[in-house]
Structure 1
């Protein structure tokens, strides 16, 4: 892609036009819908839950920390009059991911919408998941993929129970996919290896966010016949706790020049997950604010995505 095209993409996704989608006006009534939002106790996930509660959905806040989740649930109840439900989920531990999915399916026969919204950004490079994967890829991509596939029986039944025959999965990625270098996945960096350390935490983050899109695309291809709608979203540059590992001067620059408040970050994924306009959109890429954007070589590669799918399935064995 040329410099002019890259600049245009940066400008239109970092400083997007005013959203034509307004949650309280445009999200239909969600009474009877069962929804999970990962990472829902803070940031974009929390704002997503707030909007869903206001539209009468039954929402599970899937988070690692019960105290933080319960505090967020209480605060949201004061704001909305509705109460989200806590689901303990540690995306950095594959056994605990399976446990969370099983716990949910013991409580609920169906799942209509899944927001894979949690994540980690720029942790110290030496940090790994409990299973020995790079923390960012293991959490952002593998953990969410395992959670989604473990919940597939409930999602398929959710599609069957929906009037439009669809259950939706929205996978939160980032604009940084455009900074992910070739090859799109460096397979020897997914576990602890000198190559992973050499790549560095910022490049590992960009790679993990491509992994999110890659999984989303392949999920769309493989489960379309079951009514599963899977899309990836760039929420925009948003002020949240996700930037806590950045140096303070970098946070100040980002917050001042680029970032928007957390409620804005929920717009695009809410649009992809709830709008009647997007019910048949699958394998797509949504960008700020609430717009479908064409895939590029950095957000779609069927060959890599098929290989990623096989890799994910291999890692899930025994979990």
Structure 2
């Protein structure tokens, strides 16, 4: 019953008390948004630019990202937006992206782990052979964050709040699994039996678990880590769904700009500084933590597994 009530509240949220106009001035802040060529990542980047942040669009499709940057410059009148080549489905690309950023910048005030994939064909894997959803949504973002943590932790003490933020775009789907099945992270019969919808839900639970464990491990170094359900939104994430599935979903989906609200609230406001280790829900509220994300021993096991995967990249 609790999940049902929470689901209704998050699917049909009350009017937001937070608006993009409430974002404070972000002058001198450097921020990365992954997957910002389209959808809520684009709207997040636009709002950050409008409030004077220097924004890096981290994406794998250079042509699409550069077109987005042209549009962002036109719509905001700001020239402080840059492209960072990042393919989250290739750990070597992730490493190159982090190294490229470190060559250009000495500070990073916020990282929006926003990019992701949703229910692609089950035969699609990452470059290193991981399930595409798990490898992109969880492992790729873990490695990118890990490589950027030295810059994030060095930046935190230089800010008025003594914090730097990592915002993880999860989903209401985070509530669906009660645990992770490590046997499905790479291609296997178990992975194929799980199916793309459950693999997606598992990856979103993985986002929440990673966010919580990052909050526990680095709170003493000024890191604020928050997982976010951005809401039910009309974005390119639904491109792999059939026409009937898209038609049904469209009856409960909100325009993409709504999805940026909650992560902008968590990533830019004074209230967001109090959200370390919490789960934010539409629109700009604290919600219940997914049950599967509350087990600290499971979170440690996941962190150890993630570390093992990137140890020799």
Aligned residues: 312
Q: Does 1:35 align with 2:31?
A: yes
SS in 2 for 1:298: helix
The structural deviation recorded for 1:39 is: 0.1
Partner of 2:139: 142
Partner of 1:199: 194
The structural deviation recorded for 1:215 is: 0.4
List 4+ stretches of structure 1 deviating above 2 A: none
Partner of 1:313: 307
Partner of 1:221: 216
Partner of 1:97: 94
TM-score (norm 1): 0.96
Which runs of 5 or more residues in structure 1 are unaligned?
Answer: none
In structure 1, C-alpha distance between the alignment counterparts of 2:205 and 2:4, rounded to whole Å:
20
Which runs of 5 or more residues in structure 2 are unaligned?
Answer: none
2:168–2:228 CA contact under 8 A, matched in 1:
yes
Partner of 2:167: 170
Partner of 2:262: 268
2:166–2:226 CA contact under 8 A, matched in 1:
yes
Q: Does 1:9 align with 2:3?
A: no
In structure 2, C-alpha distance between the alignment counterparts of 1:9 and 1:298, rounded to whole Å:
15
Cα deviation 1:232-259 (Å, max 9, x = unaligned): 0000000000000000111111112x10
Partner of 1:233: 228
Residue in structure 2 matching 1:61, options 54, 57, 71: 57
Superposition RMSD in Å: 0.9
SS in 1 for 2:293: coil
SS in 2 for 1:200: helix
The structural deviation recorded for 1:296 is: 4.0
Residue in structure 1 matching 2:239, options 244, 249, 274: 244
Cα deviation 1:160-195 (Å, max 9, x = unaligned): 221110000000000011222x4x110110011100
In structure 1, C-alpha distance between the alignment counterparts of 2:250 and 2:44, rounded to whole Å:
21
Cα deviation 1:124-165 (Å, max 9, x = unaligned): 111110001010000000000000000011101110221110
1:29–1:55 CA contact under 8 A, matched in 2:
yes
The structural deviation recorded for 1:272 is: 0.5
